[in-house]
Amino acid sequence: MGEGTSAHKNPKLRLVPAIAHGTVIDHLPPEATLTVANLVADADDEVLIGLNFKSAHLGRKGVVKITGRELSAADISRLAVIAPHASMAIIRDYKVVKKAPIPIPQAIINVARCPNPNCVTNHEPCTTHFTVEQAEPLIVRCRYCERDFKAAELHLL
C-alpha cells in the first residue's frame, strides 16, 4: 500500500475489501444488516458485513457483500420485505455490471408465514403466497385468508 493511502493517514478513506465476483447489498438500515446477512447468505458463503457507515440518505447504513454468487429470486423477495430501500450490485471481475434498487416483486411466494393464526397456511402444508397491494410502505395481502399486512408483521421463513 502506498504512502498516504491507509485509513490512518487519510481519515476520509474507508477501505472495504473488494470482491471479485458476487453480490453487494448496500443502503441497508443498520438494524437490518445482520438479519439480511443471515437470511441471504448460505453456510458456505464468504460474507463481509459493514455496519454503521455514514450515509447521506440514511445517516448510517449497513453493507453486505456475498462472494461467488448472485442472489436468487427468493433472496430478493426476502430483501424486499426486510429492506425495501436497499440497493443491490452484481460484481464480476471486480467490476459492477449491474446496480439497481431492490425490486419489489408483485408476489412474495414461500418467503414469509402469514401472521393470521387462523390462516390455512398455518395449519396445512401449503406454500404461502402474498400479493403486493402497496409498495410504499410495503403492504401485502395473503392469497388464502385475504388479509392485508405490513412488512413488519410478516414472519420470514
**What CATH code is carried by the domain that includes residue 29?**
3.30.70.140
List b or e across 74-96, with b for residues whose CB sees 16 or more CB atoms inside 10 angstroms. Answer: bbbbbbbbbbbebebbbbeeeee
Q: Is the pLDDT of residue 154 over 50?
A: yes
Bridge partners for 95 per DSSP: 92
114 lies in the same domain as 97: no
Which of 59, 79, 101 lies at the terminal end of a domain, its last residue? Answer: 101
CA–CA separation, 18 and 9 (whole Å): 20
Q: What is the model's pTM?
A: 0.80
**What CATH code is carried by the domain that includes residue 142?**
2.30.30.20
Could you read off the pLDDT of 87-137 as tens digits, one per residue?
999 999 999 999 999 999 999 999 999 999 999 999 999 999 999 999 989
Which of 84, 101, 118 lies at the terminal end of a domain, its last residue? Answer: 101
Which element (helix H / strand E) includes 82? helix 73-82
Give the range of the structural domain holding residue 148, as residue numbers without chain letter. 107-156
Question: What 8-state DSSP symbol labels residue 120?
Answer: G
Instruction: List CB contacts of 74: < 8 A, sequence separation 6 or more.
Output: 110, 111
